[in-house]
Structure 1
Amino acid sequence: MARRKRLEKKSESSGGWMTTFSDLMSLLLTFFILLYSMSNVSETKFQAATQSIQMALSGTGGTSILEETNSAVEKEPTPSADNGIDPEVEELYEKVTTYVTENKMNSKVSVDMDKDGVYVDIQESVLFSSGSAEISNPGQQTLDILANLVSTFDNSIVIEGYTDNVPIKNSNFDSNWELSSGRAVSVLRYLSEEEDIEAHRLSAKGYGEYNPSVPNDTDENRAKNRRVNIVIVYDGQEAK
């Protein structure tokens, strides 16, 4: 009877090494997944490695837990790839926003970007009186600060003028097109003549009321649409 009990005890404990081996394989698998999630591995190489480990763990016909965890370690797309914006544009955007913040201009201008470049948005009240294309003294001071930034880049600069949808009523301009174009040209000439920005880098466009940033349905929104943009154009070359 005692001999039989010893045999039974031996039989009950004979699978212990399998449990230890399984735990070890699980730890190795976890380590492998961690390394993969922190690296840049091609899908083809990963699938080959997956098949090798799967065969080692469960044979050619088994089901591997790698099949369940593969989707969990897919590499997330970078912001640049996701929004189509070149990393150099993002770097340029960071330089401009830092400059604006350091010069305490956040209440006067806003900064945005897309794949074509970086936009410095200046509200009408910062540069002009209502219905006028003559740059005010405070507006000149704002442009003086921005010119110091623009002069550090070699990029082309486009000045864009915009208005709201309220028809203009004065003797200087026949339409919002003329007003927006006149304001854009005034800023261009100031940057060229007063700040010595190279003329060949500068161009001006007037959009009138036809490209609003927000709906013209409130006084506040109409004020936002009366603006001038200084666009630092991204031409595919790194800004210096």
Structure 2
Amino acid sequence: MARKKSGGSGGPSGGEWLATYSDTMTLLLTFFILLYSFSSVDAQKLKQLAASLQTVFTGQANNAIFDYNMKYGEVPLVGENSFQDQIPIDKSTGDPSMYETVSEFIEKNKLEAVVQITEDSRGIIIQLRDNILFESGSADIKEDSKNILEKISTLVSSFPNEIIIEGHTDNVPIHNQKFASNWELSSARAISVLKYFVEVKKIDPYRVSAHGYGEYRPVKSNDTPQNRAANRRVNILIVTKEGVSE
């Protein structure tokens, strides 16, 4: 009797799973090579990509990485906006490089005698005493001080950040034909600087706002003439923190 041949010509051999396994391993290898290429180019972008992918997979984002930034030609990752695209700023701790840039500009333009640079939780402050810009009880900018504001406008124009102009007074009451209180005086002085920046120097008005605080945010106690003079000031704040004006 002839021996029967083993194995059918069209039946399964039992090794078909190897093809699926091989395809899966190839896809995984491609994926990790892709991740490695991202990390080699920009580690921060990789972190943002991972966070964005997580929000998409968990249903917490609508567009995330799939939106295209037409202005800058980039795919915006989580937490990015137009300001960060232009000048990266650490929103939690401030930007030391910006502080150094401002300080160097003030020194280069010989403004140390009229300008003081400070920093608080909101950003970097360019502080001017009131008598540098205004006569006593007035909100009209002195003609001979406009060159100071012109230089400062050049500086703030070089950053994309929001600018807040703050007027401050001492606690000596004021009541004249123009201003009924220190509220009005401090607000009018801040607005005068804002209008110079916007109307004369053509700074984008959407970036600039004016606040008047009167006597209620002093830097020193109002117990001596010197301290009161320090409290009478105009601050030009370069905002480096999110949510400051909200």
Q: Residue 204 of structure 2 aligns to which amino acid in structure 1?
A: E
What is the CA distance between 1:89 and its match in structure 2?
A: 2.0
Matched, 1:161 2:167: yes
Q: Residue 145 of structure 1 aligns to which amino acid in structure 2?
A: K
The aligned runs of 1:65-104 (5 Å cut-off) are 86=92, 88-104=94-110
Structure 2: segments with no counterpart, 5+ residues: 1-89
Runs of 4+ in 1 over 4 A off after TM superposition: 84-88
What is the CA distance between 1:100 and its match in structure 2?
A: 0.4
Deviations 1:150-171 (A, max 9, x none): 1100000000000000001311
Matched residue, 1:216: 222
The aligned runs of 1:108-147 (5 Å cut-off) are 108-147=114-153
Matched residue, 2:59: none
Verify the 8 A CA contact 2:170 2:222 in the aligned structure 1.
yes
Quick one: distance in 1 between partners of 2:124 and 2:118? 6
Question: Which protein is bigger by CA-based radius of gyration?
Answer: 1
Q: Secondary structure at the match of 1:203?
A: strand
Q: Secondary structure at the match of 1:167?
A: coil
What is the CA distance between 1:114 and its match in structure 2?
A: 2.1
Q: Percent identity?
A: 46
Name the Cα RMSD after superposition.
Answer: 1.6
Matched, 1:190 2:219: no
Quick one: distance in 1 between partners of 2:212 and 2:95? 24
- Aligned equivalent of 1:205, options 207, 211, 222: 211
Verify the 8 A CA contact 2:127 2:235 in the aligned structure 1.
yes
Structure 1: segments with no counterpart, 5+ residues: 1-83
Verify the 8 A CA contact 2:94 2:241 in the aligned structure 1.
no
- Aligned equivalent of 2:235, options 214, 229, 232: 229
How many pairs align? 153
Normalising by structure 1, we get a TM-score of: 0.61
